Structure 1
Amino acid sequence: MTWPLTLRLVTIVGASAGFFLLLSVVPLYAEESGGGSGAAGLSTSALMLATVCGELAAPRLTARFGYRLVLATGLVLLGAPSLLLTVSPMAQSMGWIVAVCLVRGAGFALTVVGGGALTAVLIPPERRGEGLALVGVVSGAQSVVALPLGVWLARHAGFTTVFVLAAVLPLATVPAVAGLPRREAAARKPLGMVDGFRTPALALPAAVFGTTALGAGIIATFLPLAVPPDRAALVSAALFLQAATAIGARWVAGRYGDRHGPAGLVVPGLLLCAGGMLATAPTGSAAAVLVGMALFGTGFGIAQNATQTLMYARVPPSGYGVASALWNFAYDAGMGLGAVLFGLLSAGTGYAVAFAATGALMTAALVPAWYDHRLSHRPTPTPGVGSSGPGDI
């Protein structure tokens, strides 16, 4: 724990709390503003679409302007637009809601990519798994508290209270950015996003993790709608359990990965996620929902740490920005795609069938997981040796 890493954790708290407070609240707000369940999926998809697009551009911005400016700009864009949702009646317009989600998504992209690359620099390589687990615990703690708290506050204190709180938290951490290190000169030309997509060592674990993120987007968006309205306490408990088990599993996976390697954890994480979605299908059963969320949370935490650690380990420091962007791209693209596809599927089949079908379809990611497992047992070329193409990483 160094002072720069401590300041980085402060910015993670602000960004994560601001993000998770509204992740389930905005879909509820969109639905109650007259948009229906389709509007709920649209709001999450808009947020994730802007995040994904921002993540594709963030490595270039970080290379040009440095970590601090990109991170500070992201915190402002993530927090300030939430205040616009308090303006009535304009705030109840679906176009207005989508616009706010787009700006916030772009801001979140800048915080996770610019900040994520900086985090990798601040953690010793031999402790990377546990270091990333620590960062995940700090970030995940916000989801444990903020995700269910946002839903609870919206029901008991009103949407305006949640919107103001989600704006204040990221903005309050902007001053901490001044204490973070400036951009360091790269020893070699930074990798581009095209290189990342073309490189199996990065693309395969990203594809597996993106599949698990499909479930995360579905749970955050549709679990509050799938559970009967008279069981609001069950939704809060299930979201809390899912986030808490993900934090614990991420920490254990990090410690295990530093000692035994993270490659062997990818498939177990994927299978637990798929099993959790299948178990959640009977949404009228409290036991099924809680067991399903515990399984999914455990698998998701394992998949988060294992895939992220693998991707950072397979690039030189000049590639941290791309590894961060690609991992977060998989995270947010998966969440957004899961929300929109599940919304279309559940409209025709109902929530129970849609949850079961999602769990079964997630097992298709065993194919890239198998190829990545084979890749991890091949000799890894030393970065910077040989040709300058993507295969060197």
Structure 2
Amino acid sequence: MVDPPPAAQPNAPATTIVEPILTRPMARLLVVSLGALGSFYLLMPVVPAYAAGNGAGGMGVGLSTGVLMLGTVLTELAAPALIARHGYRTVVALALLLLGTPAVLLVASSWPPVVLGVCLLRGAGLGIVFVAGAALVAELAPDTRRSEALGLYGATVGVPSIVCLPLGVWLSGHVGFAPVFVTGAALALLSLAAVRGMPARSARVEPMPPGTLRRYLDVGGLAGPMVVFAAVALVAGVLLTFLPLSLSATSPGSAAVALLVQSCTTPLARWVAGRYGDRYGGSLLLPAVIAVVLGTAGLAWVHSPLAVIAGVALFGAGFGVAQNVTLALMFARVARSGFARVSTLWNLAYDAGMGIGAVSFGLLVSPIGYSAGFALTAAVLLTVLVPAWRERHRFPARMA
């Protein structure tokens, strides 16, 4: 008797097809995100220093970041409806124009209303990029590799923070503010060339539902990860806005090094969390928050460059893990049609946390100083250890 061919054997193992992550539309999205976030991170620590150098006090410096995040939050609320009506290409092109064009105005004027107006417009562009980017990654990635795709996306878009955060600080100190502003504008505007290859529309996008935001959070089960991430992002707003200023008197050269360390550890940790997030899920969130608390506490020793660098390394690691884990958990709790809304809510937590952190710290720094301010920020973050602990048995993998 002749044995049947392998395909006909009943016990032959089925061939597993691994769907790719890095498709052509994903590559286009990454190019656009690199340009947009490069523009954002280049100016992120520079505009507060520009405002401080032109007479703004702690409140004015904090407002430069707070208004940036306000513009981001307001646009994120409208982004799902804009994407549903006009498509990804149109709204992302608008976002790049809003990020790039207003930055040139800073070359001509340092008047506080102009600076804040530029921050507001750039924040609006940033909000669209954040929502569209995360939603598109979730749509383009295979279901079984979504956490991995989010980790790859997070690591890739972390490159601008690695390069541009310390570069902006260094350039502004050596060649002046104007070249930094022009370069930031160019990075966003040149990225328009990659928009054409992105998906135009998606049938899966739906606008924010009627009713209150709290009602949607309760129904979707998204409140826990969102609250934890908002608290972690609060520290990011404080660090990116005030760390260079806190070191300017005692160790000005340490600011660029510290930002480089933080910007390297965050995307690396986000990528690692993506690799293991489908397996370990929410159990990674509590260690991430603990790392952020310890790292923030380390910044209280502003007179010790080693303590500051160790602190930003711990913060960066915890921040990167928290980014991936919270986003993957939130995507796992909705249908595909809700991906844009999840991206909106997660980015709202990110930007609202950063804005509140910067403005609040700006109010505190004059009466209590930088060291006490960082210590108090770490103490506030202890409050989210409980919701982080509650997520330990949650997993981002979607069940059929």
TM score, norm. by length of structure 2: 0.90
Q: Bigger radius of gyration, 1 or 2?
A: 2
Q: Is the CA contact 2:329–2:396 (under 8 Å) kept in the aligned structure 1? A: no
Alignment match, 1:218: 238
Corresponding position of 1:30: 51
Alignment correspondent of 2:303:
284
The Cα offsets for residues 213-263 of structure 1, whole Å up to 9 and x where unpaired, read as 0111100000011114352220100011011111111111111112x1321
Deviation at 1:145, TM superposition (A): 0.7
1:42 counterpart residue number? 63
Alignment of 1:297-336 (within 5 A): 297-336=316-355
- 2:31 aligned partner: 10
Give matches, 1:8-87, under 5 Å: 8-87=29-108
1:174 alignment counterpart: 192
**Does residue 102 of structure 1 match 2:120?**
yes
Distance 1:32 1:379, change over 3 A: closer
- 1:344 paired residue number: 363
Q: Is 1:147 aligned to 2:168, yes or no? A: no
Query: RMSD of the alignment, in Å?
Result: 1.9
- What SS does structure 2 have at the residue aligned with 1:148? helix
Q: Give runs of ≥4 in structure 1 deviating > 6 Å.
A: 377-382
Aligned residues of 2:231 and 2:381 also touching (Cα < 8 A): yes
The one-letter amino acid paired with 2:379 is A
Q: Do the aligned partners of 2:131 and 2:340 also contact (CA within 8 Å) in 1?
A: yes
2:378 corresponds, among 359, 369, 373, to: 359
Asked if 1:130 corresponds to 2:154, the answer is no
Residue 288 of structure 1: CA displacement? 0.7
Instruction: Give 2:15's aligned residue.
Output: none
1:198 is aligned to 218
The answer as to whether partners of 1:18 and 1:170 remain within 8 angstroms in 2 is yes
State which of 284, 287, 290 in structure 2 corresponds to 1:271: 290
The count of corresponding residues between Structure 1 and Structure 2 is 376
Aligned letter for 1:357?
L
Comparing 313-322 and 110-119, the one that deviates more: 110-119
Structure 2 residue 133 is the aligned partner of structure 1 residue 121? no
Partners of 1:19 and 1:252 in 2: CA distance: 24
Letter matched to residue 169 of structure 1:
L
Q: Distance in 1 between matches of 2:347 and 2:239?
A: 18
The one-letter amino acid of 2:169's match is: V
Match of 1:255 in 2: 275
1:79–1:170 Cα contact (<8 Å) kept: yes
C-alpha separation in 2, matches of 1:229 and 1:17: 28
Separation (CA, whole Å) in 2 of partners of 1:124 and 1:363: 36
Gaps of 5+ in 1: 383-393
Code of the residue aligned with 1:7 in structure 2: it is R
The residue matched to 1:185 in structure 2 has which SS? coil
**Aligned residues of 2:273 and 2:324 also touching (Cα < 8 A):** yes
What amino acid does structure 2 have at the position aligned with 1:184?
Answer: S
Q: Secondary structure at the match of 2:301?
A: coil
Q: Deviations over 1:76-135 (max 9, x none)?
A: 101110001111xxx111011000000000011111112321121111121112211111
| Structure 2 gap segments, 5+ residues each | 1-21
Contact 1:71–1:115 (8 Å) recurs in 2:
no
The one-letter amino acid of 1:74's match is A
Please say if residues 196 and 326 of structure 1, whose CA atoms lie closer than 8 Å, have aligned partners that are also in contact. no
Contact 1:83–1:163 (Cα < 8 Å) also in 2: yes
Instruction: Read off the aligned partner of 1:364 and give its amino acid letter.
Output: T
1:207 to 227, 243, 248: 227
Aligned to 1:385: none
DSSP-derived class of the 2:222 partner: helix
**Counterparts of 1:377 and 1:11, CA distance in 2:** 30
* 1:386 corresponds to: none
Structure 1 residues 342-368: Cα deviation after superposition (integer angstroms, max 9, x where no partner): 111222111111101111110101232
Write the distance in 1 (CA, Å) between the matches of 2:83 and 2:64: 27
Give how far 1:68 is off: 1.1
Percent of residue pairs identical: 46
Cα drift, residue 190 of structure 1:
5.4
Q: Could you tell me how far 1:335 is from its partner in structure 2?
A: 0.4
- SS class of match (2:56): helix
Using a 3 Å threshold, how does the CA distance of structure 1 residues 189 and 137 change in structure 2: closer, same or farther?
closer
Q: How far apart, CA to CA, are the structure 1 residues paired with 2:180 and 2:206?
A: 43
Specify the alignment match of 1:236 in structure 2.
256
Shift of 1:289: 0.2
